[in-house]
Amino acid sequence: MKEPELGYRFDETFNAPTDTFQFIVTGTGPFFAAVTMDCCLEGDHWGVTVDSTDAGGSVGPVDTSVSGCGTGDTTHYSGPASASLEAGQTYVVIVSYCSGVDTFPAGMNVRFNSPNALTVTPR
């Protein structure tokens, strides 16, 4: 399997533990992953949820969903959530706070990787 390449990186600031950030992801496949890294004050665990509405399912607005939560590390990315990606397919990625030191505002990084072309747009 080809090692994922750096696609996009976003630095986000959460003003409260209930804040979320959303991104629209499209690409040419065959997969993509989203990972998180804590910033500044080690110990906050950041989560990513990858939702697809393109699978053609009939149960609610989300057809497939996968989540991961990071380790709170400030030097390495962790908590991957990944999904198969076909041309024309669209995903919504939601970045949220899982747990940690509960000091806000708090910063973090989210990175999107894919071995092929990837477009990531903040929502």
Q: d(Cα 36, Cα 113) in Å, to the nearest integer?
A: 11
Q: Is the pLDDT of residue 108 over 70?
A: yes
pLDDT at 37: 95
Mean pLDDT (whole number) for 105-113: 95
Mean pLDDT (whole number) for 90-115: 94
Confidence of residue 54 (pLDDT cuts 50, 70, 90): low
Cβ within 8 Å of residue 21, ≥6 positions away: 10, 12, 94, 95, 110, 122
Confidence of residue 34 (pLDDT cuts 50, 70, 90): very high
Structural domains of the chain ordered from first start: 5-122 (2.60.120.380)
